Amino acid sequence: MQIFETQEEVPLIRERLHRVGITNLKTIAKINWKGKLYTFIPTFEITIDVPEEKKGIHMSRLVESITESMGEAVEEEVSKVHTSLEELELSIIERLEGKHRHTRAEVWIRTQLILERETPASKRISLEPYDVEVGVIKEPERLEKVLKVTVIGNTACPHAMANNKGKTHIQRAVAMLEIRTDYDEEIALEDMIDVVEGSFSFPTYTLLKTVDENAVVQGMYKNPKFVEDVAREILHKAKKRFRGKIHVKVISNESIHKHDVIAETWNY
Amino acid sequence: MQIFETQEEVPLIRERLHRVGITNLKTIAKINWKGKLYTFIPTFEITIDVPEEKKGIHMSRLVESITESMGEAVEEEVSKVHTSLEELELSIIERLEGKHRHTRAEVWIRTQLILERETPASKRISLEPYDVEVGVIKEPERLEKVLKVTVIGNTACPHAMANNKGKTHIQRAVAMLEIRTDYDEEIALEDMIDVVEGSFSFPTYTLLKTVDENAVVQGMYKNPKFVEDVAREILHKAKKRFRGKIHVKVISNESIHKHDVIAETWNY
Amino acid sequence: MQIFETQEEVPLIRERLHRVGITNLKTIAKINWKGKLYTFIPTFEITIDVPEEKKGIHMSRLVESITESMGEAVEEEVSKVHTSLEELELSIIERLEGKHRHTRAEVWIRTQLILERETPASKRISLEPYDVEVGVIKEPERLEKVLKVTVIGNTACPHAMANNKGKTHIQRAVAMLEIRTDYDEEIALEDMIDVVEGSFSFPTYTLLKTVDENAVVQGMYKNPKFVEDVAREILHKAKKRFRGKIHVKVISNESIHKHDVIAETWNY
Amino acid sequence: MQIFETQEEVPLIRERLHRVGITNLKTIAKINWKGKLYTFIPTFEITIDVPEEKKGIHMSRLVESITESMGEAVEEEVSKVHTSLEELELSIIERLEGKHRHTRAEVWIRTQLILERETPASKRISLEPYDVEVGVIKEPERLEKVLKVTVIGNTACPHAMANNKGKTHIQRAVAMLEIRTDYDEEIALEDMIDVVEGSFSFPTYTLLKTVDENAVVQGMYKNPKFVEDVAREILHKAKKRFRGKIHVKVISNESIHKHDVIAETWNY
């Protein structure tokens, strides 16, 4: 049977496309991080550019690049795995290079990390979840990565505290730190999470015994912060600690309003 | 040209279907409420049952029932409109009865209400948004409706307050009140919203000048509440004020945790 | 320092609460399934009832029940783990019984499964993602579980096919099968997924080479189905294969409309 | 009583913030468009910059700028209203200038438009919903706007059609067109929607009688398109018709896969 490769035809409308591929693909990924094996079911996006004289791309080759890079890693028995999300992504791009011509390629992974924390008073272990996203972008002359962490914390309003003899409104806040930098720049997602989590009025914990809850409450009142203060502290610490284009966005789910407040800043 | 009505065929597998129709349909609706005309772009769901010997339904007749009930009401010039969401829904069901055989029918509308409030100290007008959902369910012997409101408020933790000399953690909370009752039971969504909004530690406002913010902060500390307390108060007031099956769910977006806490109760 | 247990006080408003606890909690879970270790980062909900004379519950004990049941299972080195999501949930409820009085308890887990499939023509391995949810509900006289799978498939419209000489509109559809049954009833999520995935016009695959794509396309045209047909087939097969209260919901993201169509049925 | 203006203090960490304000605010808006009054309940975001020597902003002044621009327009009786979303946004920025110092300001509105279409065969009226977003960005030397429309359509795969004797897979697709341009550039959202809706394999309709459904089905088969083709056609037409920075993103909810495919391009 003859197979037509419609993708190779010349399209009627000639326009270069920058990003063509697959998105919202959920599959298994494994990372050997600091000597321990971690499993994820992340969401992938993988795209390449298409020149103006080609009608389309062969989507299945993108899927193959992902699955081959992962091996048959559904069970927990893999011996050789990648050591970071960006290293996994680069290996996907390298496989793709043999399969499908392109001049730029991107691989993005969104997933969750669970990190161990110690509670502030009872010193118990608490497992904390964080949303992370990592992208690798390969252009002819450049190999970049984008690292993004989203952390749940809180704000205690200093304005209300000044006007209400120490009483104030407190609420959950969510902060995002994104760094775009050279692929070879060594930045751990865990360090980015530390920067963000340490910039709220106080960190939050999944497990809090009464003595811990008291420590968190006392801590929030000692460290009142506008959403503006949280954004500034994240940017300030991130500039000192990481090299790259830094973007910070903080959203506070106000307890006195039905809407949110936002503070956003960047160093570029 | 002959048109095949595949829907009228007898299906291979004979099973009665309870709810078949259209969902996530966005269109214009107009309500003349207390003498004033309100416009919405709500989301509709409309379903009927299908007996085991019919393959399918004629979906376009459901759409026609909606659009005909609405008239040509895209512009703000309609003189005669419905006086409540449930009245609009019943008129859709009545139109549908002439168009498509069925033994039960449901119409659901999800939309937002904006209500005027007065701020607690400066006495300014603040416009507050509320999510509402209304369904009318017609069965051979019964005509019921379901009214649901979702209100954003807050909780100030009484346990942390007792253990921290008046300091506590505060956060946004979201409460849902749902009533299933006879179609003829007169219950205003506005009254349901009042019940819910008055059961938090304090109401929230879109506009708050500093004196108002102080009043909200002071109010929250005077009225500390667990998520359990909010759920109980809503159920208690709703039972006194409304007749029907009452369901209450409150979710508090804790400022000291990354997860939420929940309290749910009902009177049936 | 004295610690006040506000939760133990008698509340002003006396109403029993049916479900009080923690929701949207993300943490690590491990399951040893058919001899292989699987890791998840699921979302938990865990609730107990509260009698009318108790103000609230001790939320941290719910968190402890989860984390203790999981062990220190952040890394992939656990030897003894639970063999199903419901078995893990029951062990959480059993731990909770020693920690916090209650008459009913529920634990719910939402996560994703990745299963291996073989593509229809090239016989390659394709990894397919499925959303699953499992709940265990313990009441004084009864131990139940709820199993729910959500599967992405498609519908090819038989009505348009009859009226357009074999041409028709095709689209993605999403089907949900939920079974509520005794805890001891043996039902594998994988079998439920098989029932649903086999009821669309044709299964979908993450990886499709051109010969596979052709097989899927040909398969869809040979098996045109209304959303009604998909719902009926799932219910019919599920009734034969599984014992319990069965609920089916299918939503088709129509390619000819901006809205969706829905078919829903149940056996109770 | 003395009121402390904490916002005016000098913060410990000195960093300029680019975007500080309010987000996810839902309220009433009215537009007099082509002589007819339209009501929306849109979602607002409004931000200003904060210099490094000011701790924070006075959030309530942002809310006042919105509500004053809107008048007391809850009911349908307003005589003088704004003629476009961007004109409303500019009036909000102008009010804000008298209330709060800043060097840059942004106002964003997300809402839905309902437009009348004529069905392809029966020539009935069908009301079609579209998501739109409009932003006005005022900087010291520049006044810009961003217009964005999101339209639901479809793709019929030309590759599968070539390999299956005219049969193919079809699915819903969603396309986004965004233009960033001078505030004074006259671009109607309706024209942008036309460009996008006309670039799919065929437009979609809320109401389709059987003859219309046949016309849509026949139309899709006559005009098979990759997601790449849709993106190219939108960009090509938009460049001819509109002046500004154009960004196009198309996502196709594949009926043969569980994931989506994406094509993205821009002219800058």
Per the CB < 8 Å rule, is B256 touching A167? no
Distances (CA, A) of B200 to A66, A235, C221, D28: 49, 36, 56, 25
Cβ-based contacts of B154 with chain A (< 8 Å): 169, 255-256
- If asked whether residues A260 and A167 sit together in one domain, one would say yes
Give 10-residue mean pLDDT values along chain B (268 residues). 88 97 93 75 96 96 90 46 86 93 96 95 95 97 98 98 97 98 97 98 97 97 98 98 98 98 97
- If asked whether residues B248 and B180 sit together in one domain, one would say yes
- In D41-120, which residue ranges form alpha helices assigned H by DSSP? 59-70, 85-99
User: Who among C41, C209, C213 is closest to A114 (CB)?
Assistant: C41
**Where among A63, A87, A103 does a domain terminate?**
A103
- Residues B153 and B204 sit within 8 Å (Cβ to Cβ): yes
Determine the structural domain holding residue C195 and report its residue range: 110-268
User: Who among A22, A24, A56 is closest to D226 (CB)?
Assistant: A56
pLDDT > 90 in chain D, percent: 86
Bridge partners, B110 (sequence order): B43, B133
DSSP assignments along A76-92, one per residue:
S--SS-BSSHHHHHHHH
Q: How confident is the model at residue A35 (pLDDT cuts 50, 70, 90)?
A: confident
Q: What is the pLDDT of residues D30-63, one digit of tens each?
A: 887 777 777 789 999 999 999 999 999 999 999 9
Q: How confident is the model at residue C153 (pLDDT cuts 50, 70, 90)?
A: very high
Confirm whether D119 is domain-assigned: no
Cβ-based contacts of A27 with chain C (< 8 Å): 114, 127, 129, 206
Distance from CA of D261 to the nearest CA of C (A): 11
Confirm whether D110 is domain-assigned: no
Distance from CA of D51 to the nearest CA of A (A): 11
Where on the phi/psi map is residue B35: left (φ > 0), alpha (ψ -120 to 50), or beta?
left
**Predicted local confidence at residue C227, as pLDDT:** 98
- If asked whether residues A65 and A166 sit together in one domain, one would say no
Per-residue pLDDT at C229 exceeds 60: yes
Residue D106 phi, psi dihedral angles, 5° rounding: -135, 140
Q: HEC string of B111-131? A: EEEEEEEECCCCCCEEEEEEE
Say if strands B36-40 and B29-33 run parallel, antiparallel, or are unpaired. Answer: antiparallel
- If asked whether residues A72 and A119 sit together in one domain, one would say no
**Predicted local confidence at residue C35, as pLDDT:** 74
Per the CB < 8 Å rule, is D216 touching C129? no
Interface residue of A117, A119, A159, A170 to substitute, partner B, most B CBs within 10 Å = A170
pLDDT > 90 in chain A, percent: 86
- If asked whether residues D91 and D216 sit together in one domain, one would say no
Output DSSP code: residue B82. B
- Residues D145 and D134 sit within 8 Å (Cβ to Cβ): yes
CA distance D5 to D11: 13
Distances (CA, A) of A209 to A121, A122, A215, C72, C73: 9, 7, 10, 18, 21
Number of helices (H) and strands (E) in chain A: give both, helices first. 6, 10
CA distance D88 to D30: 9
Per the CB < 8 Å rule, is C210 touching D159? yes
Per the CB < 8 Å rule, is B204 touching A167? no
Residue in the structure block whose two tokens are 């910059």: D49
Q: ∠ CA(B132), CA(B223), CA(A120), 5° rounding?
A: 100
- Residues D196 and D153 sit within 8 Å (Cβ to Cβ): yes
Q: Which of C73-87, C245-259, D34-48, D59-73 has the lowest mean pLDDT?
A: C73-87
Q: What is the pLDDT of residues A137-177, one digit of tens each?
A: 999 999 999 999 999 999 999 999 999 999 999 999 999 99
- If asked whether residues D42 and D90 sit together in one domain, one would say yes
Cβ-based contacts of A57 with chain D (< 8 Å): 228
The number of domains in chain A is 2
User: Who among B4, B13, B262 is closest to C236 (CB)?
Assistant: B13
Cβ-based contacts of A205 with chain B (< 8 Å): 256-257
Per the CB < 8 Å rule, is A213 touching B253? no
Cβ contacts of D263 within 8 Å, gap of 6 or more: A17, A19, A20, A50, D226, D227, D228, D230, D231, D248, D249, D250
- The alpha carbon of D237 is separated from its chain's Cα centroid by a whole number of angstroms, namely 18
For residue C17, give the nearest of C26, C4, C25, C7 by alpha carbon: C7
User: Who among C13, C236, C259 is closest to B25 (CB)?
Assistant: C259
Q: Packing angle between helix A59-70 and helix A85-99, nearest 10 degrees?
A: 130
Scored b (16 or more CB within 10 A) or e, C183-202 reads eeeebebeebbbbbbebbbb
- If asked whether residues C76 and C114 sit together in one domain, one would say no
- If asked whether residues D151 and D253 sit together in one domain, one would say yes
CA distance D174 to D200: 9
Dihedral sign (CA A9, A11, A14, A15): negative
End-to-end CA distance of chain D: 55
**Predicted local confidence at residue B81, as pLDDT:** 60
Composition of chain A by helix, strand, coil, percent to 5: 25, 40, 35
CA distance A260 to D43: 11
**Predicted local confidence at residue D1, as pLDDT:** 65
Q: What is the largest CA-CA distance in chain D?
A: 82
Per-residue pLDDT averaged across A199-221, rounded? 97
Per the CB < 8 Å rule, is D259 touching A26? yes
Interface residue of B26, B41, B100, B264 to substitute, partner C, most C CBs within 10 Å = B264
CB pairs < 8 Å spanning C and D: 111
| The pair of three-digit structure tokens given for residue D103, joined into one six-digit string | 């060097």
CA distance A145 to B126: 45
Between the CA atoms of A216, A221, A225 and A230, what dihedral angle is there, to the nearest 10 degrees? -20
User: Who among C13, C22, C233 is closest to B236 (CB)?
Assistant: C13
Q: What is the pLDDT of residues D102-123, one digit of tens each?
A: 999 999 999 999 999 999 999 9
Q: What is the CATH number of the domain that holds C242?
A: 3.10.270.10
H or E stretch including A247? Answer: strand A245-252
**Predicted local confidence at residue A1, as pLDDT:** 65
One-letter amino acid at C232 equals: R
- Chains in contact with B, where contact means 3 or more Cβ–Cβ distances below 8 Å, are A, C, D
For residue D57, give the nearest of D94, D10, D12, D20 by alpha carbon: D20
Residue in the structure block whose two tokens are 């003894």: C80
- Residues D41 and D26 sit within 8 Å (Cβ to Cβ): yes
Task: Count other Cβ atoms within 10 Å, centred on residue D3.
Answer: 12
**SS3 at position A150:** strand
CA distance D62 to A89: 43
Output DSSP code: residue B73. T
Where on the phi/psi map is residue D221: left (φ > 0), alpha (ψ -120 to 50), or beta?
alpha
Per the CB < 8 Å rule, is D75 touching B38? yes
Interface residue of C247, C264, C266, C268 to substitute, partner B, most B CBs within 10 Å = C264
Residue D197 phi, psi dihedral angles, 5° rounding: -65, -30
CA distance D65 to D22: 12
Q: Which residue of B has its CA nearest to A130?
A: B258
- If asked whether residues B126 and B94 sit together in one domain, one would say no
**Predicted local confidence at residue C30, as pLDDT:** 82
- If asked whether residues C126 and C193 sit together in one domain, one would say yes
Per the CB < 8 Å rule, is A206 touching C27? yes
Q: HEC string of chain C? A: CCCCCHHHCCCCCCCCEEEEEEEEEECCEEEEECCEEEEECCEEEEEEEECCCCCCCCHHHHHHHHHHHHCCCCCCCCCCCECCHHHHHHHHHHHHHHHCCCCCEEEEEEEEEEEEEECCCCCCEEEEEEEEEEEEEEECCEEEEEEEEEEEEEEECHHHHHHCCCCCCEEEEEEEEEEEEECCCCCCHHHHHHHHHCCCCCCCCCCCCHHHHHHHHHHHHHCCCCHHHHHHHHHHHHHHHCCCEEEEEEEECCCCCCCEEEEEEECC
Per-residue pLDDT at A268 exceeds 60: yes
Cβ-based contacts of C126 with chain A (< 8 Å): 67
Distance from CA of A234 to the nearest CA of B (A): 19
- If asked whether residues B96 and B151 sit together in one domain, one would say no
- The alpha carbon of D66 is separated from its chain's Cα centroid by a whole number of angstroms, namely 19
- Pick D79 or A124 by higher pLDDT: A124
- Residues B217 and B223 sit within 8 Å (Cβ to Cβ): no
Q: Which of A85-99, A244-258, B29-43, D84-98 has the lowest mean pLDDT?
A: B29-43
**Predicted local confidence at residue D70, as pLDDT:** 77
Q: pTM here?
A: 0.96
- Pick D70 or A21 by higher pLDDT: A21
Confirm whether D112 is domain-assigned: no
**Where among D87, D103, D119 does a domain terminate?**
D103
**Predicted local confidence at residue C80, as pLDDT:** 53
Per the CB < 8 Å rule, is A127 touching C74? yes
For residue B101, give the nearest of B59, B57, B144, B135 by alpha carbon: B57
**Where among B70, B103, B136 does a domain terminate?**
B103
Per-residue pLDDT at D80 exceeds 60: no
- Residues B82 and B70 sit within 8 Å (Cβ to Cβ): no
CB pairs < 8 Å spanning B and C: 154
Cβ contacts of A90 within 8 Å, gap of 6 or more: A107, A136, A138, A143, A183
- The alpha carbon of C182 is separated from its chain's Cα centroid by a whole number of angstroms, namely 16
- Residues C112 and A26 sit within 8 Å (Cβ to Cβ): yes
- If asked whether residues B86 and B127 sit together in one domain, one would say no
Report the mean per-residue pLDDT for chain C. Answer: 93
Strands (DSSP E) found in chain B: 17-26, 29-33, 36-40, 43-50, 105-118, 125-139, 142-156, 170-182, 245-252, 260-266
